[in-house]
Amino acid sequence: MRRPIFVFIIFLATALQGCAPRLAGFDPERLPGPQEWDPQSAPVEWWYVSAYLPEQELAFHWAFFKYYAPEGYRVMGLPARAVFPYPFASVHLALTDLRNDRFEFRERHDFPGLRAVVRADPLLLDLDGWRFERTKRGFRLQADAVDVTLAPTKPPVAHPPGWSGTAETGRMYYISYSRAELRGTVLGREVRGTAWIDHQWGDQMSGVAALWDWYGVHLSNGGDLMVYRIRDSGGEVKVLHASYVDARGRARALEGVRMIPELYWTSAVTGFRYAVAWRLEGEGWLLRLDPVRLEQEIRGGLVPVAYWEGPVEGTGIWQGEPVRVWGMGEFVGGRYRR
């Protein structure tokens, strides 16, 4: 009986392989367009909305992840991407209430029920009522204690060179609305402020093959700064990307940028040691960024990856002029043991 069973398994594996989705990985010859906010046929994809609202003493981070079974993974000897040909979705929501010194993390997943709605033209992302959608003026985000509208005040940009990462760590196309006017309610408080909106897609095993230290911050001169340092699974820095979006919405790469850690915080739960305060410097500018609150570790449930996410602020000099800086920081620790 063993031979017929073996033949059947081979037949099933071959048949399922033909059912596996055809995904478009990263292509260095293809640059992303800044208007590409609809879902892509990529192995991994996410959308972010982050905001630090100092006047209301609030901050939040929302992320919608869409991902397929990793290439090469197998289930009972069969290709996982063929057994599970549809994308899974996870949503993260981190809420920081500085007035009451509270940090909350909430998440939702659609595995195994595959309940998420992911649509294009116009963009709609929904999982059990947590939704992000295109509107005539921009976007609307409704997720638990967050209900806000987002009206971009600058055009979307593709961060030079158009992606983050390396061939070794995996690469993600990267576009943003670096500044959007936010209005609505968060934790029952009326809010108005500035938000950062991201869209990335590609072939990076984020939190596993790639770790990072990221800032998306606003400057009082009207500019916005993105700095993104990619580390491999062993913690070795592989590349640093930095771009500046000026007050008119023009993005340019920044060269010779250095990220120098100046303060660390260690999680009592995972043991990860995060660099949470940094000195950032480049040609003609120098900034010092500090966390507003230290205990901001997110620990994913379905995918056991831990990262620090929270509001930051600082001061510095930009091309000879003093500036105030505020925004969000994200520092990935990696996989952890539950």
Structure-token pair, residue 287 = 């900034």
Mean per-residue pLDDT, 80-99: 89
Mean pLDDT, the chain, integer: 91
Mean per-residue pLDDT, 229-252: 95
Of residues 10 and 18, more confidence is placed in 18
Does 238 have pLDDT greater than 60? yes
* 178 vs 157: CA distance, rounded Å: 8
- Indicate the pTM of the whole model: 0.91
Say whether the peptide bond before residue 122 is cis (omega within 30 degrees of 0): yes
Band (pLDDT 50/70/90 cuts) for residue 258 is very high
pLDDT tens sequence across 119-136: 999 999 999 999 999 999
**pLDDT > 70 in the chain, percent:** 92
pLDDT tens sequence across 260-305: 999 999 999 999 999 999 999 999 999 999 999 999 999 987 778 9
Burial track 310-333 (b if 16+ CB lie within 10 A, e otherwise) = bbbbbebebeeeebebbbbbbbbb
Residue ranges per structural domain of the chain? 39-335
pLDDT tens sequence across 325-335: 999 999 999 98
* 313 vs 308: CA distance, rounded Å: 15
Mean per-residue pLDDT, 189-218: 94
Q: What is the CA radius of gyration of the chain?
A: 21
Does 11 have pLDDT greater than 90? no
If phi > 0 it is left, if psi is from -120 to 50 it is alpha, else beta; for residue 92 that is: beta
Residue in the block written with tokens 């984020």: 206
Contact status, residue 328 vs residue 227, Cβ threshold 8 Å: no
Q: Selecting from 2.40.370.10, 1.10.760.10, 3.40.228.10, 1.10.1060.10, what CATH number does the domain 39-335 have?
A: 2.40.370.10
Band (pLDDT 50/70/90 cuts) for residue 242 is very high
Q: What is the dihedral of CA 65, 249, 51, 226, to 10 degrees?
A: 70
